[in-house]
Amino acid sequence: MHDPNGLLIHEIYASIQGESSFVGWPCTFVRLSRCNLRCRWCDTPQAFEGGERRSLEDVLSEALAHETPLVEVTGGEPLLQAATLPLLRALCDAGRTVLLETSGERDISAVDPRVHRIVDFKAPGSGECERNRWSNVQRLTRRDEVKLVLADRADYEWARRVIAEHGLAQRAGAVLLSCVWGELEPAQLIAWMLEDRLPARFQLQAHKYIWGGDAAGV
């Protein structure tokens, strides 16, 4: 197994999937350490530092040991680590349905095509909007999903514009809009979406309703 330097791992655990089209399914999360962005509302800043360096084989074996058909590789930003690509491939080879959550700043083209890539392009309210790598849009397939997290009306108008300009609803299997916890009311976002007949799906971050607003992404 190709293992340049293993992987810097923050944690591996089983929970339920809190977002995406796979919401509610039991899922094993492989959370990698380190991120090159600093979104203002990030809910996993604990993954910015530290972590344990582990071999690819060890990470794979623990991820499979939870025996969930669904596995998500997340962070931090997973695509900062070279061994993420062979990990994703090995999880697919093992018969798992594999999700990758990535910020939209990293090039997604080398990811195994069996992986469902959830690309989290950053709205202006995150403070990291300039980092979006829009060439990733050309690489999206109907297997992939785009997630846009919105803090206010300006973010919503940005989302409405990029969905239209980049044809996101046609390229990805789903465009998912969610609210920054405690900043934008879900009912308000839904009202705007209905008013504009936006070709997108509203999503709640289920884990925050189950375990509270400080719950890290699952």
Residue 157 CA to its chain's centroid (Å):
21
Pick 18 or 76: Cβ nearer ligand SF4:
76
Q: How many residues make contact with ligand SF4 (CB under 6 A)?
A: 10
Q: Which span (2-10, 35-43, 64-72, 193-201) binds ligand SF4, by CB under 6 A? A: 35-43
Cis peptide before 76 (omega within 30 of 0): yes
Q: Which span (5-13, 15-23, 39-47, 171-179) binds ligand SF4, by CB under 6 A? A: 39-47
Bridge partners of 100? 73, 117
Pick 44 or 188: Cβ nearer ligand SF4:
44
- Under 8 Å CB-to-CB from 12, ≥6 apart: which residues? 28, 29, 30, 31, 59, 62, 63, 66
**What count of Cα atoms within 13 Å lies in the side-chain half-sphere of residue 193?**
19
Question: Would you tell me how many other CB atoms lie within 10 Å of the CB of residue 62?
Answer: 15
Please select the residue that binds ligand SF4; options are 38, 53, 142, 161, rule is CB under 6 A: 38
Pick 6 or 76: Cβ nearer ligand SF4:
76
* 70 to 89: interface string for ligand SF4, x by CB under 6 A: -----xxx------------
Pick 90 or 216: Cβ nearer ligand SF4:
216
Pick 6 or 104: Cβ nearer ligand SF4:
104
Our CA dihedral for 71, 125, 206, 134, rounded to 10 degrees, sits at: -30
Distance CA(215)–CA(218), nearest Å, equals: 8
Q: Does 18 contact ligand SF4 by CB under 6 A?
A: no
| Interface with ligand SF4 (CB under 6 A) | 35, 37-39, 42, 44, 75-77, 103
